[in-house]
Chain A
Amino acid sequence: MSDVSDPTETEAEAEAEVPAHTGSRATQVLGLAALAALALWVLYGLVWSPPDREMGDLVRLLYVHVPVAILFYAGAGLTTFASLMWLRRRSPGWDALAVAAAELGVVFGALTLLTGSIWGKPTWNTFWTWDARLTSTALLEVLLIGYLAVRRVDPSPSGGSTRASILGLLLFPNVIIVHFSVDWWRSLHQKATVTRLDPTIEGDMLVALMVGMAAGGLVFAWLLIHRFRVAWLEQQVERHDLDAAVAARRAEGQLSTNEPEAQPA
């Protein structure tokens, strides 16, 4: 196995001694932007924006909850899209993107449920209610966890990807059907009592929400790139192990030609 790398790439970084991590100039810039946005978000969200007339300071939880929830759905959608592309193109990059998006989706999904319940307790006086949006969000989280579970248990590289991509492909359609049916189910019993979010947010509060979305989006993108590279590295390690295994296998063949009776365990 040779470690020869592309000369054009190494020249630029020659003296910098390429560090062994998943960062690059692009992610550093993105990371700094994300940090700046995070700082702004904290200032706007916790300090500069006024409390809501009805919700009081609890509105500040929404500056976390809403961006995180949107990113959760974005992660799930991205998983489905990447799975579809993998099934069509079979290029390993799409597979890596699907894992990365799904794992980020699970993290942001957990946060969505967590911040949602924390907001729900003082607002509705309960951590959980059988609202359509809550129920379908929880189900999506379970589906994503199942997706990752399948990825983890299958030992063969390509088999695991095929299984997982079909599961990933079904993910978003499932969410749509689940959401649609749950929405209809709840609207029978109570006329949408808990979905008052939109009307009262304006002015500085709207700015805070927007800054939150920008900051969340930047963090998500930065993290996605890093997680994607981790998945990519996993594929590379697998490939290198494979090369080594092929070499070892051939060597075993050369050795045992002399004595064909040798029986490797």
Chain B
Amino acid sequence: MWRDVALVAGRDLRIELRSRVATNQVAPFALLVLILFAFALDPDTGVLESATPGLYWIVVLFSGTLAVSRSGSVDEADGVRDALRLSGLAPAAVFLGKAAAVVAQLLVLELVLVGAVGVLYDAPLAGFPLMTATCLAATVAIAATGVLYSGLVAGLRVRDTLLPLLLLPVLAPVLIGATRAFEDAFGADGIRGWEWCGLVVLFAVVYVVAGCLAYGALLEG
């Protein structure tokens, strides 16, 4: 089982290493959106500063949608779906492997973005234990939900447009929880960041379990 997870994750990461979609397209897109937010919200009025945690997670969410969509399109190649079904890999292992590959990519991206908001938005980066825990939990949540839903739309002609419609409302709790936790980490008063982080962890657990159970039926569908 874990051998298969590693096999699938390794394959997706190797494909990413070759095609460089995450580094050459998703990451620049994320930075671009950060800059556009600065145009939309005047940096001098302090709006940008107070909104930084929310903007950060919006960018991660959008980039995550792109990464997940790419992760799904890898398996859309002619005959790959058949080969996956014939391979004898447990569907849960395929799900976990794909999710793990997305987690790895998103964690790197988040690290870059933390540096970017520190520099561009002058964010008061602090509370690193809470930040790290939140990033881990939220990334697992986004990746698990994303891979599950990209499996849901796999093979449809409209998969690229349908995926965000299905995925983003479901991820609303992750956005809320991770944003609150970051606000606490950055020193806002009266927010219990660790509890929000706990909410995100709960969400991640629910979706990892749901994905393991449901992915098999999706591969068949």
**A–B direct touch, CB within 8 Å, in complex?**
yes
Which residues of A are at the interface with B, using a C-beta cutoff of 8 A? 87, 139, 142-143, 145-146, 149-150, 153-154, 158-160, 162-163, 166-167, 169-170, 173-174, 177-178, 180-182, 184-185, 188
- Sample (5) of A-B pairs whose CB atoms are under 8 Å apart: A87-B217, A150-B166, A159-B221, A163-B152, A178-B173
Contact across chains for A181 and B166 when beta carbons are under 8 A apart: no
| Closest chain B CB from A191 CB (angstroms) | 13
Instruction: Enumerate chain A residues within 8 angstroms of B218, measured Cβ to Cβ.
Output: 162-163, 166
Contact across chains for A146 and B165 when beta carbons are under 8 A apart: yes
| Closest chain A CB from B185 CB (angstroms) | 16
A contact face: mostly helix, strand, loop, or mixed: helix
| Closest chain B CB from A136 CB (angstroms) | 9
Contact across chains for A139 and B169 when beta carbons are under 8 A apart: yes
Contact across chains for A146 and B169 when beta carbons are under 8 A apart: yes
Contact across chains for A177 and B206 when beta carbons are under 8 A apart: yes
Contact residues on B (Cβ < 8 Å of other chain), bracket: 20 to 34
Instruction: Enumerate chain B residues within 8 angstroms of A188, measured Cβ to Cβ.
Output: 180, 190-191
Instruction: Enumerate chain A residues within 8 angstroms of B177, measured Cβ to Cβ.
Output: 181
Instruction: Enumerate chain B residues within 8 angstroms of A162, measured Cβ to Cβ.
Output: 217-218, 220-221
Contact across chains for B172 and A181 when beta carbons are under 8 A apart: yes
| Closest chain B CB from A181 CB (angstroms) | 4
Contact across chains for A143 and B180 when beta carbons are under 8 A apart: no
- Name the 5 nearest CB pairs between A and B, nearest first: A181-B173, A162-B221, A159-B221, A146-B166, A142-B169
Q: In the complex, which residue of chain B has the Cβ closest to the Cβ of A136?
A: B172
Determine whether B158 belongs to the interface, using a CB cutoff of 8 Å to chain A. Answer: yes
Contact across chains for B162 and A153 when beta carbons are under 8 A apart: yes
Contact across chains for B176 and A181 when beta carbons are under 8 A apart: yes
- In the complex, which residues 148-205 of chain B have their Cβ closer than 8 Å to any Cβ of chain A? 152-153, 156-158, 162, 165-166, 169-170, 172-173, 176-177, 180, 190-191, 199, 202-203
Bound Cα distance A145, B217 (Å): 22
Bound Cα distance A209, B1 (Å): 56
Bound Cα distance A182, B180 (Å): 12
Q: In the complex, which residue of chain A has the Cβ closest to the Cβ of B174?
A: A181
Instruction: Enumerate chain A residues within 8 angstroms of B169, measured Cβ to Cβ.
Output: 139, 142-143, 146, 174, 178
Q: Could you say which of B165, B180, B203, B210 contacts A149, with CB atoms under 8 Å apart?
A: B165
Known interface pairs A166-B217, A174-B170. Does A153 touch B152 (Cβ–Cβ under 8 Å)? Answer: no
Contact across chains for B166 and A167 when beta carbons are under 8 A apart: yes
Instruction: Enumerate chain A residues within 8 angstroms of B210, measured Cβ to Cβ.
Output: 170, 173
| Closest chain A CB from B208 CB (angstroms) | 13
Instruction: Enumerate chain B residues within 8 angstroms of A139, measured Cβ to Cβ.
Output: 169, 172
Contact across chains for B203 and A177 when beta carbons are under 8 A apart: yes
- In the complex, which residues 75-113 of chain B have their Cβ closer than 8 Å to any Cβ of chain A? none
Bound Cα distance A184, B218 (Å): 33
